[in-house]
Chains A and B, each alone.
Chain A
């Protein structure tokens, strides 16, 4: 312990203090620097896989809006797990529009605090879902396990990867698609339950979100088949090269409807109702539908769909409303604590 030693901390502190001062100056100047004045600003609170889609949509719509009204429009995007995003809006994130993975999450915004009205889903055509998707099976190249349909997933030795329906909105569609298939095969409710139970007995890992499951399947090489949204599966195949995976479209699947809605409370507070409604309506135009198809969402518009028929094979689809009686009922029966899913995965 020399005396030199005692001086050193002081010198350190001086360095740190000056560094902090410089950092503070930079920060302060960036705050004070005048931001480019935007006439209108919208916040679109969305879920994870739509990031690229809305980047394109925002660019196209802002240009269109400026041409029509002369206003400069800035659209900010926020992405995350669908449920987490809904909770942010409930807790006060001032979204002008929400574009989430399932109607239940927007229902929750209406139920908890009433930032939008209960019958929000009737505001826009097609259940307020301008684009759709479905659940497909992603398998390893050449389909070594010979998986063609849902019942192949129950075979011994087949490992199925799906996110946890308790934490992932997307995963709830996977579970319901399998359930609906079992019903379609002529099973009753108890039979469907056994079917889904057997399927989940083949699941070795329950990731908390869809991207986590994709990583487990693609990067970690775990599992023989990944249950995925069609848009995610197409993206995976396109990103990682078609020589690694095949997409198997089952004989029957569920129509996934990711809905969109204007958040009444915040558009009224911001005075942005008109532009928010125009923005969501833009998704239904041919231009918006083309962008949806480009990002692997199935377009609603028949003419656009016909143009992309090669990307989206024909598949028999059922809706959640027709088979299960809507999201609120499904959530209470299947996914809430103590519900059917909990009973299925409880330790055997």
Chain B
């Protein structure tokens, strides 16, 4: 690091001083709060031999559970993103009686114990439930199927999207849209060329959060899933099952697989966003 007139000229470092201490502090906290606990998972998993880990974590049943957990979480995050964007749009752009109330309601899934959410959703979507009964009459089942799993994941993921998109929307100047309109852009063009690009970072962050939360969700899903092996078992349930057998190493092995897979997927989501941003700037 060469300093000229007290200011760093290293590429990437901003005009602010104190990069070194700040980075040190960041890494220390990140390690204490996030990385060390997660490292313990890998240490515990190492109690098994490599063969055992492979056999346990890549059995047909485990693979089906990963498919449901990660596939369901991706679908749920996509649904949450779409619905969350609409909700945020309405909350920011329109003034209507009860808007503040609606705004507060968005946060409820954060506060609700997940088991309560699971029981409530199951009661609604069960074949004798308010929503489930008419659907059951036409042969659609939600509770105790993989669809129910996705419903629960959407419920807990939605607030993340609303809360990450909302501030961006609030900062979005109306003038920009008006300028685009005065230059002859149609409504659809304004949406695609002006609004969505500005919202994209918030939306992708919300998507990543909703996805991560849905992958790890246990409490609400367990009531609505039905937990049939190979059909509607989620990966966190396999961890609980291993723990019931006092198989700590096996539980940690499945957790390690989930961690690695989540990390790779989150890296991809963030990487796509970074690429998009570079493309916009470049």
Contact = CB atoms under 8 A, between A and B. Distances in A.
Interface string B46-70: 0000000000100011000000000
B245 A335 contact: yes
A346 B240 CA distance: 18
B230 A346 contact: yes
Interface size class of A (residues with CB under 8 A): 20 to 34
Contacts of A86: 246
B69 to A, nearest CB: 16
Contact of B244 (A166, A212, A221, A347): A166
A206 B228 contact: yes
A266 B8 CA distance: 60
B195 interface: no
A222 B129 CA distance: 11
A220 B222 contact: no
Contacts of A301: none
A346 B245 contact: no
B245 A220 contact: no
B122 interface: yes
B142 to A, nearest CB: 12
A87 interface: yes
B245 A164 contact: no
Given A167-B237, A220-B127, A212 B223 contact: yes
B250 interface: yes
B240 A167 contact: yes
A77 interface: no
Given A87-B246, A166-B241, A337-B242, A205 B127 contact: no
A346 B61 contact: yes
Given A335-B245, A337-B250, A222 B240 contact: no
A244 interface: no
A112 B227 CA distance: 28
Interface in B112-150: 119, 122-123, 126-129, 143-144
Contact of A220 (B129, B243, B246): B129
A108 B123 contact: no
A208 B222 contact: yes
Interface string A203-231: 01111100010010001111000000000
A167 B244 contact: yes
Given A87-B246, A167-B244, A215-B119, A205 B228 contact: yes
A116 to B, nearest CB: 15
A108 B230 CA distance: 28
B243 A337 contact: no
Interface string B217-243: 000001100111111000001001111
Nearest to B223: A212
A345 B56 contact: no
A238 interface: no
B127 A222 contact: yes
B178 interface: no
B144 A204 contact: yes
A339 to B, nearest CB: 9
Interface string A301-337: 0000000000000000000000000000001000111
Nearest to B64: A347
Interface of A: 83-84, 86-87, 90, 108, 111-112, 164, 166-167, 169, 204-208, 212, 215, 219-222, 331, 335-337, 342, 345-347
**5 closest Cβ pairs, A-B complex:** A220-B126, A221-B128, A347-B230, A206-B227, A205-B226
